[in-house]
């Protein structure tokens, strides 16, 4: 489509659709690959307070920030939560940068999200992903997870952009 100012860009699906109305491909593409949801969390039984750890799920590839067996993950990790629109609305621990959460709350995606940047590496370059920040749960006994509590997964860095790379002349 074109108007007097030039071509009209289509509205991105995450701005035009509710989570419930997305196709499977659209839903899957909302994941930015940060893998924060793959970090183990501890919940205080009395208060319900969630504490994040840097202990990653046994299936997480910490460099790629992807599940090693995504299609069969529930068979290996029975308590792995498959995100659905309902889960997005009810899980208290989704990180503030989670695209599913942001879309549900009516917020736009950040510049580093691959759907915006066109580059799957920007989530890592922006320091959003867990790359290089985790230990494998197979290497840490459950009784020592409290020693691995961290706060960075619950922080929202906002729109801060990384320093521009200088051009060589």
Instruction: Give 40-62 pLDDT, tens digit per residue.
Output: 999 999 999 999 999 999 999 99
Residue 32: predicted pLDDT: 96
Q: What pLDDT sits at residue 161?
A: 63
pLDDT band at 169 (very low <50, low <70, confident <90, very high): very low
Residues 57, 77: contact at Cβ < 8 Å? yes
Mean pLDDT of 19-34: 96
Number of domain units in the chain: 1
Number of H helices, E strands in the chain: 7, 8
Q: What is the pTM assigned to this prediction?
A: 0.85
Residue 2 lies in a domain: no
Alpha-helix runs per DSSP H in 105-149: 114-117, 122-125
| Average pLDDT score over the chain | 90
pLDDT in tens, 115-150: 999 999 999 999 999 999 999 999 999 999 999 999
* Residues of the chain above pLDDT 70, percent: 89
Assess contact for 36 and 17: CB atoms under 8 A.
no
Q: Which domain holds residue 101?
A: 9-153
Q: Is residue 165 part of a domain?
A: no
Mean pLDDT within 10-27: 96
Domain assignment present for residue 159? The answer is no
Q: Is residue 4 part of a domain?
A: no
The answer to whether the beta carbons of residues 69 and 85 sit under 8 Å apart is no
Answer whether residue 56 is part of any domain. yes
How confident is the model at residue 52, as a pLDDT? 96
CB 31 within 8 A of CB 101: no
pLDDT confidence of residue 136:
95
Torsion of CA 58, 59, 64, 65, to 10 degrees: -80
Q: So what's the pLDDT on residue 155?
A: 85
Q: How far apart are CA 158 and CA 107, in angstroms?
A: 12
Q: Is residue 166 part of a domain?
A: no
Contact 151, 137 (CB under 8 A): no
């Amino acid at each position: 489509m074109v108007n007097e100012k030039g071509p009209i860009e289509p509205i991105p699906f995450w701005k035009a659709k509710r989570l419930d109305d997305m196709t499977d491909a659209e839903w899957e593409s909302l994941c930015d690959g940060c893998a924060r949801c793959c970090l183990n969390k501890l919940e205080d039984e009395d208060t319900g307070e969630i504490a994040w750890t840097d202990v990653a799920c046994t299936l997480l590839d910490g460099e790629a920030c992807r599940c090693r067996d995504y299609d069969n993950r529930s068979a290996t990790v029975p308590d792995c939560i498959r995100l659905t629109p309902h889960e997005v609305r009810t899980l208290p621990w989704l990180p503030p940068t989670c695209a599913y959460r942001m879309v549900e709350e009516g917020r736009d995606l950040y510049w580093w999200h691959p759907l915006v940047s066109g580059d799957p590496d920007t989530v890592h370059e922006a320091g959003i992903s867990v790359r290089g920040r985790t230990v494998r749960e197979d290497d840490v006994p459950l009784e020592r997870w409290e020693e691995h509590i961290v706060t960075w997964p619950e922080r929202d860095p906002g729109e801060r952009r990384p320093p521009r790379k200088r051009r060589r002349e």
